[in-house]
Amino acid sequence: MCAASDRKKEGISFSVCSQKELLSDDKFADEMIDIIVDNLSYLFGDDMGSDENREEWKKHNLKTADQTWHTVFGRRKGKIAGFIIYTIKNRELMVNDFEISKDHRLDPALMIGLLKTMIWIEYDSFDKIRGYINKNNTESQANFLRYATDIIETEHGYRFIIDKEKTFAIKKRFKRIISKI
């Protein structure tokens, strides 16, 4: 199914999937949506988990014509604990979604492992990083906006860019960490 990486950390295995690989098994998409619904229903209401809304999410986020995105999964005991959906275009890495299940929120090995795996796989493919963080997600703001070189406030969140210089420094730091593993 997905390309398993040799990356394992503290009982968590990491793998990277293309859009085609992910869509070949509905189980993965359903597990992803379960995490998203659990994480975001406080913002958007309980109907997020309805069959209709789940299919809409798949349609708008997974079954797109743009087949440039990939997903990094972290699994513990065979179940998805967290994931990052990302695309790379014009040497820019765009973090489309970064989700950690509530059971693993206080698991730094998972968050760092997801980022390490993505950077390890894509190291030579990008020079800048883009992302979006919801205003209610103060933890992600604290973790990621401090690296941003450009922040644009929107009605519901913050769009950010990490320029080439800071991206290079981040990649270099991760490369040192990865090379020690």
The pLDDT tens digits of the residues spanning 85-136 come to 999 999 999 998 898 998 888 888 898 899 999 999 999 999 999 999 989 8
Which has the higher per-residue pLDDT, 78 or 180?
A: 78
* For residue 139, pLDDT beyond 80: yes
For 113, the 3-state DSSP assignment is: helix
What does the domain layout of the chain look like in residue ranges? 3-179
pLDDT number for residue 106: 80
Residue scoring higher pLDDT (24 or 160):
160
Q: Structure pTM?
A: 0.83
* The two three-digit tokens of residue 149, written as one number: 């070189």
What architecture is domain 3-179?
3-Layer(aba) Sandwich (3.40)
Mean of pLDDT over the chain: 84
Nearest to 149 by CA among 134, 125, 172, 131: 131
In the chain, count H helices and then E strands: 6, 8
Q: Quick one: tokens of 144?
A: 């990621």
Rounded Cα–Cα distance for residues 96 and 116 (Å): 17
More confident residue, 2 or 88: 88
C-alpha to C-alpha distance for 167 and 42, rounded to whole angstroms: 33
Distance of alpha carbon 140 from alpha carbon 84, whole angstroms = 13
> How does DSSP assign 16-80, residue by residue?
EEEHHHHHT-HHHHHHHHHHHHHHHHHHH-GGGGSHHHHHHHIIIIIS-S---EEEEEEEETTEE
Which pLDDT value is given to residue 45? 57
20 vs 125, residue with greater confidence: 125
Higher-confidence residue of 59 and 121: namely 121
